[in-house]
Amino acid sequence: MKNKIIIMLKWIRQYIFRIIPDKLYLKIVFRIKVGRRLNLKSPKTFNEKLQWLKLYNRNPEYTAMADKYKVREYVRSKIGEEYLIPLIGVYDKFDDINFDKLPNQFVIKCNHDSGSVVICKDKKNFDINAARKKINRAMRYNYYYVGREWQYKNIERKIIIEEYLSKLDGDVKDYKFFVFNNHFAYSFICSNRQKKVKFTFFDKDGKFIDVKQGGADYDKKVELPKNYNKMISLAEKLAKGIPELRVDFYEADGKIYFGELTFFDASGFDKFEPEKWDETFGSLLKLPKRRDRNGGVNDGNKS
């Protein structure tokens, strides 16, 4: 009886959670996580502007760009096939996967969320049941409801398997480039994932920025990748015509690999230390105009 009550309470909480309108939900979560009221009438900070974009910059094309399978075609058309990690297969459900036909090493992931990744380095020791449980749980969940990042809402869910690149093994670093209004603004390197993740920020000239995000520390010893300038150029091509986009790359043996496209870094809920950097980064981003219900034009950069 007790278990039934717990399940019922979870269902009720989840249902209420889902029916809260986007704007109200974002205001509530922003207040809880960032610690202040969300200003949507005249957003100034980076995090505020991300919330504004969630609500007022809903381009249907962004859904395909957030889809880890369909984005491959977008990348192919913009910068070329050579930057994509080779694809092994695409599946509608986990039980469609024939593991006997897979190579000894591979990577399984869902196309519609963040974090549902399973790495197989040796098929003999691979726990298929644990992988099935993780992937099936992710396939049942609509990632849109976490931060109301609307581009995830209507992604047709798939399971993709990519080649495992041993050259990216060890302390894999993500090189994350922020492009605002067609121009590279700043970047950060994500490192030390296997222990305690670190985010190290750099300005557009490649100079270290003394700022922390989301409570993560930085690593002043981390170095820019050899292909840093090339990555900037590629990021700008992928983000052309989009107000704000984060483009992720990897680098191994001098070769660049595409990671993913992210419209709302940390869903716009991570604090910056010192706090001034939230507004400093925000000042680099000019919001597009939007039309209200009466046909008038509202500019997100003005009150």
Q: Do residues 202 and 187 touch, judged by C-beta distance below 8 A?
A: yes
- Nearest residue to 269 via CA among 122, 149, 189: 149
User: Are the C-beta atoms of 178 and 52 separated by less than 8 Å?
Assistant: no
Residue 160's nearest CA partner among 219, 234, 110, 215 is 110
Can you give the pLDDT of all 303 residues of the chain as single tens digits?
A: 556 665 665 565 567 788 899 999 999 999 999 999 999 999 999 999 999 999 999 999 999 999 999 999 999 999 999 999 999 999 999 999 999 999 999 999 999 999 899 999 999 999 999 999 999 999 999 999 999 999 999 999 999 999 998 777 667 899 999 999 999 999 999 999 778 999 999 999 999 999 999 999 999 999 999 999 999 999 999 999 999 999 999 998 889 999 999 999 999 999 999 999 999 999 999 999 874 433 334 555 553
Angle (nearest 5°) at CA 141 between 139 and 143: 110
Encoding tokens for residue 221? Answer: 């010893």
Beta bridge partners of 97: none
Residue 23: its pLDDT value, please? 97
Q: Kind of pairing, strands 255-262 and 244-252? A: antiparallel
- By three-state DSSP, how is residue 63 classified? helix
pLDDT of residue 117: 95
What number of helices (H) and strands (E) belong to the chain?
9, 14
- Say how far apart CA 24 and CA 27 lie, in whole Å: 5
Q: Has this prediction a pTM greater than 0.95?
A: no
Largest interatomic CA distance in the chain: 62
State the DSSP code for 203: E
Prior bond to 60 cis, omega within 30?
no
Could you count the other beta carbons within 10 Å of the beta carbon of residue 138?
20
Looking at residue 290, its pLDDT comes to 77
Helix (H, G, I), strand (E, B), or coil: what is residue 125?
Answer: helix
Of 203, 241, 206, 201, the residue nearest 227 (C-alpha): 206
Tell me how crowded residue 22 is: count the other CB atoms within 10 A of its CB. 13
261: closest CA among 74, 48, 22?
74
CA distance 164 to 106: 4
